[in-house]
Amino acid sequence: MTDVIIIGGGPAGSTLGCYLSQAGISNMIIEKANHPRDHVGESLVTNTTRIFNEIGFTETMEREGFVHKYGAAWHAPYGRSVVSIVFNEFPVEGVNQPYSYHIDRRKFDLCLLKHAEKLGSQVVQGVNVTQALFEDGRACGVRVRIGDQEVDLRCKIVVDASGRDTFLGRHLKLKEKDPLFNQYAIHAWYKHVDRDDETGDYIHIYFLPIKRGWVWQIPITEEITSIGVVMEKRDVKDALQDIEAFFDAQIQTSKNLARAMRNAVRINEFTTEADYSYSMKKVTGDGFLLVGDSARFVDPIFSSGISIALHSAKFAAEQIVHALEINDFREEVFQPYADKLSRGVEIWYEFIRLYYKLPHTFTYFIQVPKYRMQVFRLLQGEVFDRSEAPVLDAMRKYIEAVENSEDHIFKSGLTDVPIDEITNLVVES
């Protein structure tokens, strides 16, 4: 019997397998797909490199030639103004290089899964987990379908790393819709996108002149660029009959983006992603944990997804090691993991909420010397304690001042996004 069964071989599952194998803990990763497989999420924040260093994966990132990401740029919804940052302005502990990476997820996920296998994880691909097994209320294994047969596999701890499939979240009815964000993304790869000579290797975010609308531009290779439009689902509902026309129309609403795309040629089919944001009632239970997108997914505007996946895997591994040492797999033993993950993700979520409430707040505070480094830390996912981010309180006061002003220049930029805590979550049917 293996110690840990991990459902899913994406970034969270593979990273968890790496940490567990390094700790001498037997683990099996069960992935329903056969890698390589397509997936959205192609740009990494800097602190992911620290995880790569810890699991010995940075050398692979370099050898495979993933595009180096030296900074980020945000384009205003009107005119051609741009705010940018360079990552080496803010050194990240445990990272000795001035860049992160842009990635082709097909190649990245496969390389990371192979790395987990190399370190000792037992990897099974093309096998579907149909059921989590419980005894006396504690998870103790999974049932898998192999051909026409179903087989029960036993373990001490089950980890759901199934991504936005949220295997345990759905089966245990833990999943909750985000009450604020119901985003929809349409994306594809292009050649001949015009990249700025100085910022061509940055991620570029173009804010659209529509509430909660934006576009990403991510260099995948020297020739290929990922372009994705993100909007409220209600704003794209009537446009899906002609996705290309709708997509091109959004491109033209940003002067800088339209200029970058003037010679662009699409090289694959459009892909759509719906129901982006959600949470779980809980991320641990007797004998189980949820990691990565299985535990929580927040709006991806600041490229937080893979950072959260990798760090949740690290934090989960620490608690799993402890649980196995004391031979205790009750939910309360895993609670420190749940608390740490929740603190970090809620800070991301608050930061994103404040941005959507008044986009100018973000571009203003990143240029204020007093707060610039704090904004950097938020963007790099380096804050897991709310008290370490007073800039969030300053942003709140700034927004309140705009709201209470009769004729503030940014009054028209306010949206209906509440900036106070949301407690009336809606359970997904």
- 322-371: per-residue pLDDT in tens? 999 999 999 999 999 999 999 998 998 899 899 889 988 988 999 899 99
Last residue of a domain, one of 235, 259, 274: 274
Q: pLDDT tier at 275 (50, 70, 90 boundaries)?
A: low
Can you tell me the distance from the alpha carbon of 323 to that of 308, in angstroms, rounded to the nearest whole number?
A: 22
- What is the pLDDT of the chain when averaged over all its residues? 92
Can you tell me the distance from the alpha carbon of 183 to that of 172, in angstroms, rounded to the nearest whole number?
A: 24
Q: Are residues 404 and 383 in the same domain?
A: yes
Does 310 score more than 90 pLDDT?
yes
Query: Which pTM does this prediction carry?
Result: 0.94
Q: Are residues 288 and 388 in the same domain?
A: no
Number of domains within the chain = 3
Residue 91: cis peptide before it, omega within 30 degrees of 0: no
Percentage of residues in the chain with pLDDT exceeding 70? Answer: 97
Q: Are residues 59 and 172 in the same domain?
A: yes
Pairing of strands 149-160, 288-290: parallel
Q: What angle do CA 110, 113, 118 make, to 5 degrees?
A: 120
Structural domain contains residue 62: yes
Kindly state the average pLDDT of the residues 145-149: 90
> What CATH number does residue 334 fall under?
3.50.50.60
Amino acid at the residue 295: A
**Cα four-point dihedral sign 250, 254, 258, 261:** negative
Q: Which domain holds residue 378?
A: 355-418
Q: Are residues 167 and 187 in the same domain?
A: no
Structural domain contains residue 76: no
Contact 113, 245 (CB under 8 A): no
DSSP string, 32-84: SS-SS---S--B--TTHHHHHHHHT-HHHHHHTTPEEE-EEEEE-SSTT-EEE
> What CATH number does residue 191 fall under?
3.30.9.100
Q: Are residues 27 and 114 in the same domain?
A: yes
Q: Are residues 256 and 304 in the same domain?
A: no
Can you tell me the distance from the alpha carbon of 329 to that of 319, in angstroms, rounded to the nearest whole number?
A: 10
Pairing of strands 271-274, 183-191: antiparallel
pLDDT of residue 424: 34
What residues contact residue 350 under an 8 Å CB cut-off, 6+ apart?
392, 419
Does 189 score more than 70 pLDDT?
yes
